[in-house]
């Protein structure tokens, strides 16, 4: 017989994990506020992914160091333009769960067709 400890290190870690994990019951969704700055430039968005939780109020500042761009999310009926070298700030409530592409709808510059990102609402 070997003297096994009462609790292995693994058991302890598992217990700690159980104590620190969020409850399985869904909590009432308290809307959070999230802020992002998205830089739109020839020809990318940075960051390319905006990851929020359902019902978050998302405050987004869109800036462009070069030409006019837009931040467009069809599913949310968002289309915000930013002027050359400028910025624009707007808010929306992420009330629909899913993965939604965002893109630049400006067509003065062909490269804008390549500008894509994804809004993820969990």
- Contact residues for Cu ion, defined by CB under 5 A: 69, 104, 106, 112
- Select from 48, 47, 86, 90 the least CA-distant residue to 68: 86
CB closer to Cu ion, 54 vs 81: 81
- C-alpha–C-alpha distance, residues 75 and 101, integer Å: 9
What three-state secondary structure class fits 20? helix
CB of 50 closer than 8 Å to CB of 36: yes
Query: Minimum Å distance from CB 26 to Cu ion?
Result: 39
CB closer to Cu ion, 94 vs 112: 112
Query: Minimum Å distance from CB 19 to Cu ion?
Result: 48
Query: Minimum Å distance from CB 69 to Cu ion?
Result: 3
């Amino acid at each position: 017989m070997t003297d096994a400890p009462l609790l292995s290190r693994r058991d302890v870690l598992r217990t700690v994990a159980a104590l620190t994990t969020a409850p399985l019951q869904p909590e009432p969704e308290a809307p959070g506020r999230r802020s992002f700055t998205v830089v739109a430039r020839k020809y990318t968005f940075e960051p390319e992914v905006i990851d929020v939780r359902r019902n978050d109020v998302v405050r987004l500042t869109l800036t462009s160091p070069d030409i006019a761009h837009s931040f467009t999310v069809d599913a949310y009926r968002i289309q915000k333009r930013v002027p050359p070298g400028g910025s624009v700030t707007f808010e929306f409530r992420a009330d629909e769960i899913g993965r939604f592409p965002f893109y630049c709808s400006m067509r003065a510059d062909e490269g804008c067709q390549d500008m894509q990102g994804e809004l993820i609402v969990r």
